[in-house]
Amino acid sequence: MSFKEIAPQEVAERLNKGETLIMLDVREPGEWMEGHVAGANHIPLGELDSRHEELDPAQEIIVICRSGNRSGKACELLYEKGFKVINMTGGLNAWTDKLVRN
47 is a domain residue: yes
In a domain, 56, yes or no: yes
pLDDT tens sequence across 37-83? 999 999 999 999 999 999 999 999 999 999 999 999 999 999 999 99
In a domain, 80, yes or no: yes
Nearest to 41 by CA among 9, 73, 63: 63
- The model's pTM: 0.96
pLDDT band at 1 (very low <50, low <70, confident <90, very high): low
In a domain, 100, yes or no: no
Q: What is the DSSP track for 39-97?
A: T-EE--HHHHHHHGGGS-TTSEEEEE-SSSHHHHHHHHHHHHTT-EEEEETTGGGG--S
Residue 66 belongs to some domain of the structure: yes
Q: Is 86 among the domain residues?
A: yes
Positions marked active-site = 65
The answer to whether residue 61 is domain-embedded is yes
The answer to whether position 101 is within a domain reads: no
User: Which CATH number characterizes residue 85's domain?
Assistant: 3.40.250.10
Report the distance separating Cα 49 and Cα 35, nearest Å.
Answer: 24
Structural domain count of the chain: 1
What pLDDT shows up at residue 102?
72
Q: State which residues form the domain around 13.
A: 4-94
